[in-house]
Amino acid sequence: MYRYSEFDADFLRNRVAQFRTQVARRIDGSLTEEEFKPLRLMNGLYLQLHAYMLRVAIPYGTLNGAQMRQLAMIADRWDRGYGHFTTRQNIQFNWPALRDVPDMLAALADVGMHAIQTSGNCIRNVTADHFAGAAKDEVADPRPVAELIRQWSTDHPEFQFLPRKFKVAVTGHADDRAVTAAHDIGLRLVRRDGALGAAVLVGGGLGRTPMIGKILAEFVPMADLLPYLEAVVAVYNLIGRRDNKYKARIKITVHETGIDAIRAQVNAEFAARKPLFSGVDQALLAEITAHFAPPAFSDQGVGGFAADYAADPVFRAFVDTNTAPHRHPDYTIATISLKAHGATPGDCSSAQMRLIADLAAHYAHDEIRISHEQNVVLPHLPKRHLKAVHQALLGAGLATANIGLLSDIIACPGMDYCALATARSIPVAQEIATHFDALKLEHDIGPLKIKISGCINACGHHHVGHIGILGLDRAGVESYQITLGGDGGPDAVIGERAGPGFAYDQIVPAIERILRAYLGLRMGRAESFLAAYRRVGMEPFKAALYGAGGAEADAA
């Protein structure tokens, strides 16, 4: 697991002390809000609709038990006894008082955590697969590469004033769990003739103009990766648009310039830069890789796992939906759902955090991950302990067997918290989950990703939901636009708009019509919603949504 150095620890303590002074000066009136705002944003403190919000980074979604316990302590002492895990692999506290924030930051620094935000038009936090280092058939752990890129890009003099912010994601597995195709640069680690390298995607992103990244290079050997990325960013720095904020992301540059022309420029730039790299980066990569070394897996077999699996149907359902194959045959990756039917997606109480911390420490090499799908993962759990863990989760309302199913909904905070929202998203998620739970249709419907955003910024990734829901303000009324067929996996696709939006009280019935249509037309249970959509297209669903007359009354 990645360890912060003494330098990092001192740096964090100094930052907290500095921010403590700034908060004091804001409260005593010596700093205006205009002066204070950039300082608080740099320290992860936002002003939302009803209160401040503190956004805490969880690099690569990786936490240990002590860190999780500290998050619980912070939630109890200075917030409302819970935290909200987000699609950006961070945790948000929704109710801090301004005066308390320096103490919260100090408590975070005590466990090597921080709320420092990369902001501005630079290379933002690099993200990686939440099963990194654990998944079966992984090409390589993506986190060392992600961390190498982070260290190289931080304070890189050439890249502090890019046309726009720049996000990088890395996956080390063919099942792309890092949504690499929706990032400015997406890296997919691959091996060619035994040598490690990366396929490079460029120009993906959601938000106002959603686009899927395009393949810029099929294979860049590891030793060439940094000079190659530097070449990409340099080309973007030169030709990316600076005249219009909405056209400044690299996805627009790629779209307007064409992928082949960009590739030619990148290759020329790469040839010029490669000789300037001395190989120091490869030494650094080796050092970082050592920090992310896997735990010492035990060889004590799987105990009574098979017997329990056969005997206990509740346990069996949990194993079938919430676990994934681990690189070690006696281990499993267990996902703890933060999506109990009717709960707020991603919320975790302090008691739940403590239980998860204890389970990780006792049974699972003290490692915890947060997924961008707003769930918690025990990446290294021996199968012989799975039954005990499940038993403990049951008692804490954390054993919902719904990973990858209808109620495993991603929802952004929407207008219940976010100052930028145009409509609510949390209650829509809650009502969809409870409605289908009452109908007992969830397991019959099978794999389904519903994703909800409360405005066009697309924090809920609605474009890549099999069913996407976007909340808008239509003439002073909440209106929900549905997209179908989106996919955030290896063959990523942007969903297609179904037609006019639905009012708040009509959105759950609309989702039910879509899913009843699916149940009627699928070719057996083996055909998932997404597969059926790809086979039959939009028309049958449009008919189910809008009746035979179709979508003539387009209000949008």
Which residues bind to other proteins, rule: CB under 8 A? 26-27, 29, 32-33, 47-52, 80, 94-95, 97-99, 344, 415-417, 421, 424, 426-427, 430, 473, 476-478
Cβ(509)–Cβ(540) below 8 Å: no
The Cβ-side half-sphere exposure at 520, using a 13 Å CA radius, reads: 9
Residue whose entry in the numeric block shows the structure tokens 């490692």:
367
C-alpha span between 148 and 126 (Å, rounded): 10
Least spacing, CB of residue 166 vs ligand HEM, in Å: 11
Site for ligand HEM in 35-74 (CB under 6 A): 46, 48
Least spacing, CB of residue 493 vs ligand SF4, in Å: 20
- Pick one of ligand SF4, ligand HEM, other proteins, none as the site partner of residue 207 (Cβ within 5 to 8 A by kind): ligand HEM
Q: Which of 87, 121, 350, 430 binds ligand HEM (CB under 6 A)?
A: 87
Least spacing, CB of residue 464 vs ligand HEM, in Å: 9
Site for ligand SF4 in 438-457 (CB under 6 A): 453-455, 457
3-state secondary structure of 4: coil
Tell me the residue length of the chain. Answer: 556
Least spacing, CB of residue 182 vs ligand HEM, in Å: 5
3-state secondary structure of 368: strand
Q: Which is nearer to other proteins, 62 or 407 (CB)?
A: 407
Site for ligand SF4 in 372-431 (CB under 6 A): 412-414, 418, 420-421
Least spacing, CB of residue 219 vs ligand HEM, in Å: 25
Cβ(468)–Cβ(483) below 8 Å: yes
Name which of 377, 365, 197 is nearest 294 in CA terms: 365
- Pick one of ligand SF4, other proteins, ligand HEM, none as the site partner of residue 98 (Cβ within 5 to 8 A by kind): other proteins
Q: What is the DSSP letter of 414?
A: G
Q: Which of 37, 73, 151, 207 binds ligand HEM (CB under 6 A)?
A: 207
**Count of other CB atoms within 10 angstroms of residue 139:** 17
The window from 310-318, 347-355, 411-419, 536-544 that contacts ligand HEM (CB under 6 A) reads: 411-419
Least spacing, CB of residue 487 vs other proteins, in Å: 28
Q: For residues 142-154, b (16+ Cβ closer than 10 Å) or e, as one string? A: bbbbbbbbbebbe
C-alpha span between 11 and 9 (Å, rounded): 5
Q: Which of 62, 67, 86, 171 binds ligand HEM (CB under 6 A)?
A: 86
- Pick one of ligand SF4, ligand HEM, other proteins, none as the site partner of residue 453 (Cβ within 5 to 8 A by kind): ligand SF4
Q: Which is nearer to other proteins, 421 or 498 (CB)?
A: 421
- Pick one of other proteins, ligand SF4, ligand HEM, none as the site partner of residue 86 (Cβ within 5 to 8 A by kind): ligand HEM
C-alpha span between 373 and 339 (Å, rounded): 10
Identity of the residue numbered 28: D
Cβ(427)–Cβ(451) below 8 Å: no
3-state secondary structure of 426: helix
C-alpha span between 370 and 379 (Å, rounded): 10
Least spacing, CB of residue 30 vs ligand SF4, in Å: 31
Q: Which of 112, 203, 413, 488 binds ligand HEM (CB under 6 A)?
A: 413
- Pick one of other proteins, ligand HEM, ligand SF4, none as the site partner of residue 87 (Cβ within 5 to 8 A by kind): ligand HEM
Is the dihedral angle over the CA atoms 178, 88, 407, 543 positive or is it negative? negative
Q: What is the DSSP letter of 548?
A: T
Maximum C-alpha span of the chain: 68
Q: Which is nearer to ligand HEM, 86 or 407 (CB)?
A: 86
Q: What are phi and psi of 418, to 5 degrees?
A: -85, 130
Q: Which helix (H) or strand (E) holds 15?
A: helix 6-27
Phi-psi region of 262 (alpha: psi -120 to 50; beta: other; left: phi over 0): alpha
Residue 83 touching ligand SF4 (CB under 6 A): no
| Per-residue contact flags (x/-) with ligand HEM for residues 437 to 476, judged by CB under 6 A | --------------------xxx-----------------
- Pick one of ligand SF4, other proteins, ligand HEM, none as the site partner of residue 430 (Cβ within 5 to 8 A by kind): other proteins
Q: Which is nearer to ligand HEM, 53 or 217 (CB)?
A: 53
Q: Which helix (H) or strand (E) holds 357?
A: helix 350-363
Rule CB under 6 A: which residues touch ligand SF4? 412-414, 418, 420-421, 453-455, 457-460
Query: Where does this chain bind ligand HEM (CB under 6 A)?
Result: 46, 48, 86-88, 92, 182, 205-207, 412-413, 417-418, 420, 457-459
